[in-house]
Homo-oligomer: A and B are copies of this chain.
Amino acid sequence: MAATEEELEVLRTELLEKKTETEKQGEVVRALKGNKVDKKEIEEALQLLMKLKLEVQAKEKEITSKAAGSDGKGNSKESFRQQLNDTLTSRLFFIPAFKIYGGVAGLYDYGPPGCAIKANVLALWRQHYVLEESMLEIDCPCVTPEIVLKASGHVDKFTDFMVKDEKTGMCYRADHLLKDYCTEALEKDPLLTSAKRQELKEVLTTLDELNAAQLGEKIKEYKITAPDSKNPVSDPYPFNLMFSTSIGPSGNAPGFLRPETAQGIFVNFSKLYYYNGNKLPFAAAQIGQAFRNEIAPRQGLLRVREFTLAEIEHFVDPEDKSHPKFKDVADLEFLLYPRKEQLSMEKPVKTRIGDAVSQGVVNNETLGYFIARTYLFLTSLGIQKDRLRFRQHLPNEMAHYAADCWDAEIECSYGWIEVTGLADRSAYDLKAHSDKSNHDLSAFEKYAESKVFERLKITPHLKLLGPAFKKDGDTVGKALLAMSEEEALDMKAKLEADGQAPLEVCTTGKTFTIKKEQVSISKETVTEAGRKFTPAVIEPSFGIGRIIYCMYEHCFYTRPSKGGDEQLVVFKFPPIVAPIKCTVFPLIQNEKLNVVAKDLSVALTRAGVANKIDITGTSIGKRYARTDELGVPFAITVDFETDVTNDVTLRERDSRAQVRVPLKLIASVVRDISEGHLAWLEVLSIYPNVAPSQEE
């Protein structure tokens, strides 16, 4: 695997020291030569210089190689990714869509194993969030009328900056060109000066904040050209990422494919609030397709034009963001990367989420609760704990209305990838739709007891003010209403004492004399049954395709074949997400064994266990290897000894351990371990273990 940025920094410092040392030694040699000292002394100094130069070269080579991700054994990030992708596409986990027509960038098909994994991940998501948190799941159309996305801001602001090759017209994302330039320079040019290195790093950090003009300036400054043709590129300009269409036959109803599923929840807030018995907090959830017409998609499944989102909108009283179940997760510890640590270039910190909330690092319990639940969800899919972190948005990354935002990021061969956003979006979205639609999208909290309080009431009698002050009547009326409580009480006292009182109107600079009958000032009693407010929303939003891709990376490994002459590929998917839970095969080709195997496969299917039967005569070792490559966690071998009262062999993928289980129990055992009701360790302790097959 590649070296971390920190390790590279150490190497670069060492290189710099070595270079300085070399330069100094060069001066020593020159000085010695000038002084015409003893030949032997010069020779020794020269040898040291030579040695230092060789060390500098070696160090440079080491940096270049480590920066490219090589570990010295040729297992670079790129070759790991290539091997993974070869397996994924050859076994149809995913493939480029419409391939026979040349394909379309950013559109992929999920083949049988990928499709099963996606269904399993979504089922787990439903169980983990919708069921366990009693969320209201809804399902809205992808086709969305323009007004909805106008209100949400997407029509005006959902853009990326694009540049065009000035000769071929080819389109590129401006920030990608700049990013690639900086990354390549940093990775492949180990001899950059520290100052330049620092500058490029700063560009990378602030990339998301640059406007069109700033991006254009940098592109000109670094003389960046179109990657395919090396032609000059245009100035950057905004391109809206939504796919547009037209709804109905008239051509007068513009629409878009939704870029996220959240808006469908917001526009239904009132109905969902009512469905929930007009009570807060509650969460609504939606799983569905979203669409972004990316300018130039790349990075495989990580940046696509159509993808599945699973989104939650948790509506809360902005004055009370506590969570009743926070205590259940407060003791969980995992990597947090708060703003402070990022800005001071420190590392993510393993933190107890309870502490992060109580210390104000995470804004509130509800947000903290969802961060912790997301940690549990992602790791249950097989994501490695030490390659998962929650990174807080920097102030400039966050929308102006947001209270706090964290991204779940997973480390993979492309770097740290955002797979889930967790944002406290305050009341922004509901307010935007309320304003645009003129529908009240507020909640009402009834007080346990009505609040009764006194309030000063000023009533200018306009019918008398008009005749008395002519054209100033209106101004005087407004000035009376604008009095502070103190001024009003003062006036009331004067009117009662003298029958009149002076009123200074600062807007006109005049003072008017008000008569007692021209205004009433009195106290009134007000009863308030409750308060009306727009709920805040905390939004965890999951990119399912990205999560699945990262899971592929974290579950993929190779191990030598029995002969040691081959590296065999394995996906160590947890049983609950594995596309096929179990294979069934007769030990050898034999009609009787085939019948038992087929009956067993039917029994497994009845029990809801996705299974695959393999009655080809291939060697048992090869059949195991085939199922390992699909990440099938269990394999049942039917051997000679089998009849109804007899046992079959059950083999676990990663340990390759084997046990003998009675045929009549095997279907329910495999169902229980696949659904997570029974652990493999328990199976090992219950049933007799056997030595692994000789062929493995």
Contact = CB atoms under 8 A, between A and B. Distances in A.
Interface of A: 91-92, 95, 97-101, 104-105, 107-112, 114-116, 118-119, 123, 126-127, 131-132, 134, 136-145, 147-148, 162, 169, 171, 239, 243-250, 253, 255, 257, 264, 267-268, 270-272, 275, 289, 291, 293, 295-296, 305-306, 433, 436-437, 439, 441, 605, 608, 610, 612
Given A248-B171, A433-B100, A95 B271 contact: yes
B100 A250 contact: no
A145 to B, nearest CB: 5
A133 to B, nearest CB: 9
A675 to B, nearest CB: 8
B111 A271 contact: yes
B111 A136 contact: yes
B289 A101 contact: no
B246 A141 contact: no
Contacts of A118: 139
Given A127-B608, A143-B107, A610-B131, A112 B98 contact: no
Contacts of A267: 98-101
A547 to B, nearest CB: 15
A272 B437 CA distance: 48
Contact of A115 (B104, B137, B253): B137
Contacts of A293: 246-249
Nearest to A134: B612
A126 B119 contact: yes
Given A92-B275, A95-B268, A249-B171, A605 B132 contact: yes
Contacts of A257: 142-143, 245, 257
A561 to B, nearest CB: 22
A588 to B, nearest CB: 19
Contacts of A139: 109-110, 114-115, 118
Contacts of A144: 98
A104 B131 CA distance: 31
B108 A141 contact: yes
Contacts of A132: 605
Given A111-B271, A112-B138, A246-B293, 5 more contacts: A97-B264, A110-B138, A112-B136, A116-B137, A171-B248
Contacts of A109: 138-141, 264, 268
Given A100-B433, A145-B98, A92 B271 contact: yes
Contacts of A99: 267-268, 271
A60 to B, nearest CB: 40
14 contacts: A98-B148, A99-B268, A104-B255, A110-B139, A110-B140, A111-B138, A112-B137, A118-B139, A127-B608, A141-B305, A142-B257, A143-B305, A244-B246, A245-B245
A433 to B, nearest CB: 7
A111 B141 contact: no
In the A-B complex, the 3 residue pairs with the smallest Cβ-Cβ separation, listed nearest first, are A110-B139, A100-B439, A100-B437
Contacts of A119: 126, 137
A131 B601 CA distance: 11
A272 B170 CA distance: 34
A142 B142 contact: yes
A679 to B, nearest CB: 16
B245 A249 contact: no
Contacts of A255: 104
B250 A171 contact: yes
Contacts of A249: 162, 171, 239, 293, 295-296
Nearest to A241: B249
A619 to B, nearest CB: 17
A609 B165 CA distance: 57
A26 B328 CA distance: 90
A296 B253 CA distance: 13
A132 B141 CA distance: 30
A134 B112 CA distance: 10
A306 B145 CA distance: 13
Contacts of A247: 104, 243, 293, 305
Contacts of A115: 137-139
Nearest to A614: B277
A213 B253 CA distance: 29
Nearest to A305: B143
Nearest to A146: B101
B145 A248 contact: no
Of listed A112, A605, A608, residue having the most chain B CB within 10 A = A112
A141 B264 CA distance: 21
A543 B119 CA distance: 20
Contacts of A142: 142, 257, 289, 291, 306
Nearest to A609: B131
Of listed A100, A105, A107, A306, residue having the most chain B CB within 10 A = A100
Nearest to A274: B92
A190 B293 CA distance: 57
Of listed A105, A169, A608, residue having the most chain B CB within 10 A = A608
Given A243-B245, A257-B245, A605 B131 contact: yes
B271 A141 contact: no
Contacts of A612: 134
Nearest to A103: B145
A107 B272 CA distance: 18
A95 B136 CA distance: 14
A295 B251 CA distance: 11
Given A247-B104, A250-B171, A289-B289, A97 B140 contact: yes
